[in-house]
Amino acid sequence: MASDSFMATEASGAPVTAERKVNLNLQDQLEKPYLPRALVAVDPSNPHGTKGHDNRNLSVLQQHASFFDRNKDGIIYPWETYQGFRALGFGRIIRSIFLTVGTSLLLSYATQPSWIPSPLFSIHVKNIHKGKHGSDTESFDTEGRFEPSKFEAIFSKYARTYGNALTWEEIRTMHKANTNLSDPIGRISASLEWRLLHSIGKDENGLLNREIVRGV
């Protein structure tokens, strides 16, 4: 037992390590799962990313943000953010406006190419990595690459009921576990993101499936 301790993923003195398990076989299921992917979001079921998807040589985080760049010019204006939320299925106009205002205020200045703020509250896709907040799953690194092992941990640690899908209670448990000390902006942002994703991505049973999470 002692000789195997250097590979142990659980410690008896820290019960949480047994509660939140890691996938011990991930390296057999996915080549180099420890290697951050710049262009594709991979997992054991999609080892080369989404088939047929054009990454346009953008980082995975940039591709995520580009959904809201409706004219694909690299700059997201508030009206494009609003159109993006409507396209996602947020039918209530007031809700989409609220989300647009919050997103623009949070990300605009952080992504500007200079210290001068944008009077139009634009968001620059090339700098979207600068808008990364804390208290998240860390599925994206600080440069916007996709972290396969971190993504896998979402489900190995928290999807206890169905394995490849999260219940709302499991999402809440995960969010609480990921919350960093003294990080109100990150905590609120992460909570809002998961609430939105669950509201538009859940199936008829209220489950948020793995492929939906990877797809965004």
pTM: 0.93
**What pLDDT band is residue 216 in, cutting at 50, 70 and 90?**
confident
- Per-residue pLDDT tens for 59-98? 999 999 999 999 999 999 999 999 999 999 887 788 899 9
Residues 6+ apart with CB under 8 A from 79: none
111-157 per-position pLDDT tens digit: 999 999 999 999 999 999 999 999 999 999 999 999 999 999 999 99
Cα 27 to the chain's mean position, in Å? Answer: 22
Mean pLDDT of 30-55: 98
Contacts 24+ apart (CB under 8 A), 143-146: 143/36, 143/38, 143/59, 144/38, 144/59, 144/60, 144/61, 144/62, 145/36, 145/37, 145/38, 145/59, 145/60, 145/61, 146/36, 146/37, 146/38, 146/40, 146/41, 146/42, 146/60, 146/61
